[in-house]
Amino acid sequence: EWHESFDCVYQKLTLSGAGQHSLEDCVDKLIGLVKPGGWIKFIDADFTGKSSNGLVMQEFETLVQAFLDTLSVGFHYAKEIRSWLEDVGIEYVQERIFETTYGATCETKSM
């Protein structure tokens, strides 16, 4: 009933809650919501690599990794989103990666 209903589909950290569903299937279903010529935006966390955050936040990131593994999602999935989109024929795929410092090492106090 919602197929091709939206000009823009925006999701933030939705895939981490995919549970027993395959991430590729979830991406495909989200794409199915977009009208032809529309846009889809994914914002997801990638906890791979060395963290620039302080020790406590690094420990938190390790816990998040373990949590995502427990959910059977894993913590590497964000690196795959681009290829999943391209594999189903999405055009003009762009990827931007931002390193975000948070916790005590963040220079912006409001963060």
How many structural domains is the chain composed of? 1
Tokens 């027993």 map to which residue? 20
Q: Is residue 53 part of a domain?
A: yes
Asked, for residue 42, whether it belongs to a domain, the answer is yes
| Residue 102 within a domain | no
End-to-end CA distance of the chain: 40
Q: What is the rounded distance in angstroms from the CA atom of residue 77 to the CA atom of residue 19? A: 13
Under the banding of pLDDT at 50, 70 and 90, the label for residue 111 is low
Asked if the structure places residue 101 within a domain, the reply is no
Q: Is residue 80 part of a domain?
A: yes
Report if pTM > 0.85.
no
Q: Is residue 28 part of a domain?
A: yes
Residue 15, domain member (yes or no): yes
Average pLDDT, the chain: 87
pLDDT, tens only, 37-90:
999 999 988 777 777 777 888 888 889 889 888 888 888 888 899 999 999 999
Nearest by Cα to 12 from 41, 35, 37: 41
* pLDDT greater than 90 at residue 100: no
User: Residue 37 gets which letter from DSSP?
Assistant: E
Q: Per-residue pLDDT averaged across 8-26, rounded?
A: 89
